[in-house]
Each structure stands twice: as structure tokens, then as C-alpha cells.
Amino acid sequence: MSKKLHIKTYGCQMNVYDSERMADILAPLGYAAGDGPEDADMVILNTCHIREKAAEKVFSELGRLRKMKEARQQQGADMIIAVAGCVAQAEGAEIMRRAPYVDIVFGPQAYYRLPEMVARASRGAGRTLDTDFPTRSKFDFLPDEVAAPHEQRSSAFLTVQEGCDKFCAFCVVPYTRGAEYSRPAADILAEARRLTASGVREITLLGQNVNAYHGEGPDGRDWSLARLIRELAELPGLVRLRYTTSHPLEMSRDLIRAHADVPALMPYLHLPVQSGSDRILEAMNRRHKRDDYFRIVDLLREARPDIALSGDFIVGFPGEDDRDFADTMDLVRRVNYAQAYSFKFSPRPGTPAAAIAFAEVEERVKAERLAALQALLGEQQRAFNEACLGREMAVLLERRGRKPAQAVGRSPYMQAVHVDGAEERIGSVVMVRIVAVQPNSLSGRLLAEGTADAA
Ligand code: SAH
Ligand code: SF4
Ligand code: F3S
């Protein structure tokens, strides 16, 4: 009999990918996606530890799940509760202690052992905490075939690299995900072939430090991300490639060149800089200066003049003063982002920046800086979207929209585009003319057949 599985995913795209793989692993055990947590036989929270609020959310969600589990137990059923991901890795023992109704806690590198953990929990043989970093990569143990057919989709994530050796002073990722690891290129190509065979037209290559990818190639040599991209671009059926997240230090000439001469590589790049101040960049251990970032942006725009840039920013890093913040605002004005994320610094236990939290910027100042930065970034995003009005664009249609017969997809620049009367074209790339611009999306009108190009 089929059992119901509910996975709730927090955090980055790598967690989204991991959640899908967990579903793949559990499918042979009879678990299939249900509608929600209430009537699920198993619930997995795949968590994120990047900022303080993320971990708090997990504990409040666990409180809700406990009630659902008790209700099910009163009806003679049960619910296995599992906590996965980066909070599990960082605070596994704490979760076991604070939440005795949680059956399984496992880190991002241990989920391939889920079948054993679930078997133990189902037998009532005890709780499991597994936050080891195994010596072999989890990818060696994951099932090859996608056993649980994910809903038909045209765009998919593919993790090519995991972990991080950069140790930015504020960041938990090197501790929660472990050391940098690149998957062998042959495995990635095989996975990409399976995805395209199932109808996927766009693949986003994932890694905490994706552009540091250096996996073993089928020829026995190290392949760079650029090499991998060139190879993937040849796969029949694959029309779009993206990669995220990149570190400026690893933005090689070769990778920048790929933006000029690989048509499948979309003109959009998420390239976090965090701060525009050299002093703060150094304190953050980012290991580059603002001028290095400007140089990379110039080279990218030479290679692909229409490239849309996205970024991440942290305001209120310990010691950040008004001049530092003015440098960040200046960098944003000079770069001109199509889209960006910005956060208040959040001290994370165990990171070097948490130890200098005595220099932490006052909450009120952080809030003011974040508001000013977000206003500027919002203005830039609006201007970018408005400049698209009247333009022809290729849109990969991904899903149904709210209105009847409407479809929603993505432009080459990652904007969401609503297209009326295009439902039947979901899964393919269509040409549209942009006829309206909303704050967070565009509306396009389908153009006649035959005008669509490959992108
Ligand atoms: N690997 C990516 C980012 C991973 S985390 C990179 O190198 O840029 C995603 C974003 O969360 C970061 O870019 C940063 O802007 C933000 N972030 C990470 N740690 C943070 C902290 N302690 N406080 C506030 N924001 C943080
Ligand atoms: Fe974190 Fe820095 Fe690594 Fe990105 S590069 S994951 S911000 S340590
Ligand atoms: Fe969060 Fe872990 Fe990703 S901390 S951002 S889920 S790598």
C-alpha cells in the first residue's frame, strides 16, 4: 500500500534538489507525495541554517507537526517525523533533545541512508541521528533512475558541486555542507540525459560554489565548469543552461567566454558580492576587492552585452560604518542589477563573524541601511523590467497560470512571464512580445509560429 510522504523544503536550490532525491530514494519503499502534512505517514523538514530566523521556523513547524502526529496516533496511525538539511547538521543533538517526537535527524551528506533510518523508525527500534560526513560522496549511493516521476516539468536542478572551502566569515555553509566536492562529469552528463529524455528543456547546474567546479572528466582530466557547460550544451533537447551560485574569485576567463559563445547559456548570472567596501570585503574574508568585481562585470558585459546580473548583499556586518555602506550603494549604482537579495547580518554560532559581534551594528542602523539598499535595488529591478516592454523574448513555458488557458514561464533573464492562450505549449520555448510589466512579472503575447529561435 502506498504511504504518504510530505517534504517541506527551506533554503537554497540545493535543498530543493536534495528533497527530490529523498523522494526518489523513498519511492521504492512505497512512499509517494501526498497533499499535505496532516495525513502524511512521513514528514521531512529539509532545513536551512543560513540566518537565525530559519532555525526558529523549524522549531515552530515541529511544534505543529507534533500535534498532527499525536492526532494520528489517537486514530491508530503514526507519522514519522524527520529533520534533514543544514539545521539538522548544525543542531542535530539539540533537536533530538528538544523534540523527542522527532524520529530521524540527518545531515545533507547522509540522506542516502534514509531507507535504513526509516526501517528502524517503522519497527519502533529507536531514533536515529546521522550527521556524519561520509568518506565517499553521497552521489555514489543515490539511485540512478528517477523512481518517483516528478510532475512533468521543463526546468530542473542538477547538483554538480557541493560544499564550500571559502569560509566567508559570516557563513555556516562550510560547516553544514562540508568540504568542496565536484561530481565526476560522466555522472552529470548521464543525469542530464535522463532529465532531457523526460522532457526537461532547461537545466540549472547547482553548487554552493558552482563555478569552482573541477570534476573528473571522462578523459581522466579535470573539467572546469566552462568545459562541462560546453559539453552539456550539445545534448539534444536541452535548450537552456544556467548555473548558480558563483563566487567572484572563481569567475574564470574561460567561463566568461562561454557566455559569449554558448547560445544555450542564458544571459543571467547570480554573482553575489555581499559588500561594496574593500574594508568589509576583507573582514568578510571574501578575498577580492570591489575593483575585481567591477572588472569581472565589465568582462561579462563585453562577452554578453545583454547579461542580467543578480546579487546578494549583507548590511550591518560587524564594524560596517556609514562610509562602508555608501560604498555598497555606490557599487550597486555602478553595476545596476536586474534583481538581488539583501539581508541584515545575522551572527551564526561557530562562524568567525559571530566572535566579533561586539562590533555589531545597531539594529536600527541595520534596518535603515537595508531599507535604503532595497529601495535602490527595487528601483533597478523595476527599470530593468520596464525596459522589456515591447521587446520580443523567448519564454520557456513551465506551468499553468491562474487564468484559464494561461501559461507561465521564464524569460532568458529569469523574469516570470505570463502568456494567455499558451497552455498547450507548456514544456516548450515560445516567442512572445512583452505587452505589460507588473512589479514581479511580465505579460507576453504569443507571436506567430516560426519566429521562435532555439533559446
Ligand atoms: N554560496 C553563495 C551564498 C550562499 S548563502 C555565495 O558564495 O555567495 C546565500 C546568501 O545568504 C549569501 O550570499 C549571503 O548574502 C547570505 N548570508 C549568508 N550568511 C549570512 C549571515 N550570517 N547573515 C546574513 N546573511 C547571510
Ligand atoms: Fe558561504 Fe562564502 Fe562559501 Fe558562499 S562562498 S557558501 S558565502 S562561505
Ligand atoms: Fe541554507 Fe544550507 Fe542552503 S544553510 S542556504 S540550506 S546550504
What's residue 199's pLDDT?
94
Residues 16 and 49 in one domain: yes
Residues 238 and 347 in one domain: yes
Domain carrying residue 101: 3-130
Distance (Å) from CA 269 to ligand 1 centroid: 16
- Whole-angstrom distance, CA of residue 104 vs CA of residue 91: 13
Q: Does the C-beta of 267 come closer than 6 Å to ligand 2?
A: no
> Contact, 68 vs 37, CB < 8 A?
yes
Q: Does the C-beta of 167 come closer than 6 Å to ligand 2?
A: yes
What's residue 236's pLDDT?
96
Residues 161 and 121 in one domain: no
Examine the fold and report which residue of 78, 100, 130 is the final residue of a domain before the chain moves on.
130
What's residue 150's pLDDT?
56
Examine the fold and report which residue of 368, 386, 404 is the final residue of a domain before the chain moves on.
386
pLDDT tens digit at each of 455 positions of the chain: 689 999 999 999 999 999 999 999 999 999 999 989 999 999 999 999 999 887 788 999 999 999 999 999 999 999 999 999 999 999 999 999 999 999 999 999 999 999 999 999 999 889 999 998 887 788 888 876 554 455 579 999 999 999 999 999 999 999 999 999 999 999 999 999 999 999 999 999 999 999 999 999 999 999 999 999 999 999 999 999 999 999 999 999 999 999 999 999 999 999 999 999 999 999 999 999 999 999 999 999 999 999 999 999 999 999 999 999 999 999 999 999 999 999 999 999 999 999 987 888 999 999 999 999 999 999 999 999 999 999 999 999 999 999 999 999 999 999 999 999 999 999 999 999 999 999 899 999 999 865 444 44
- The verdict on whether omega for the bond into residue 245 sits within 30 degrees of 0, i.e. cis, is yes
Residues 220 and 318 in one domain: yes
Domain count, the chain: 3
Find the ligand nearest to 345 CA. 1
Out of 15, 89, 133, 208, give the residue to mutate to test ligand 3, the one with the largest number of ligand atoms within 8 Å of its CB.
15
Distance (Å) from CA 50 to ligand 1 centroid: 7
Distance (Å) from CA 312 to ligand 2 centroid: 11
Q: Does the C-beta of 171 come closer than 6 Å to ligand 2?
A: yes
Distance (Å) from CA 83 to ligand 3 centroid: 14
Residue 265, domain CATH: 3.80.30.20
What pTM does this model have?
Answer: 0.95
What's residue 148's pLDDT?
47
Supply 51's cell numbers.
Answer: 540566518
List of residues 6+ apart from 286 with CB closer than 8 A: 168, 248, 249, 273, 274, 275
Examine the fold and report which residue of 335, 363, 386 is the final residue of a domain before the chain moves on.
386
Residues 439 and 362 in one domain: no
- Whole-angstrom distance, CA of residue 310 vs CA of residue 273: 10
Q: Does the C-beta of 50 come closer than 6 Å to ligand 3?
A: yes
3-state secondary structure of 98: helix
Distance (Å) from CA 98 to ligand 3 centroid: 22
List of residues 6+ apart from 441 with CB closer than 8 A: 408, 415, 416, 417, 418
Residue 405, domain CATH: 2.40.50.140
Residues 179 and 306 in one domain: yes
Q: Does the C-beta of 86 come closer than 6 Å to ligand 2?
A: no
What's residue 146's pLDDT?
56
> For ligand 1, atom 1, which residue shows the shortest CA distance?
208
CA nearest to 182, candidates 195, 157, 163: 163
Residues 85 and 101 in one domain: yes
Residues 318 and 208 in one domain: yes
Residue 91, domain CATH: 3.40.50.12160
Distance (Å) from CA 246 to ligand 2 centroid: 9
Find the ligand nearest to 14 CA. 3
Distance (Å) from CA 343 to ligand 3 centroid: 15
In degrees rounded to 5, what are phi and psi of residue 410?
A: -125, 140
Residues 117 and 234 in one domain: no
Residues 59 and 161 in one domain: no
Q: Counting atoms of ligand 1 from 1, which one is nearest the CA of 166?
A: 7
> For ligand 1, atom 14, which residue shows the shortest CA distance?
312
What's residue 293's pLDDT?
98
β partners of residue 34: none
Find the ligand nearest to 45 CA. 3
Give alpha helix (H) positions in 2-84: 13-26, 52-74
User: Which pairs count as long-range contacts for 52-60, CB under 8 Å and 24+ apart, including other chains?
Assistant: 52/346, 52/347, 52/348, 53/346, 54/10, 54/11, 54/87, 55/87, 55/90, 55/91, 57/10, 58/10, 58/83, 58/87, 59/98, 59/99
Residues 365 and 417 in one domain: no
Residues 148 and 281 in one domain: yes
3-state secondary structure of 8: strand
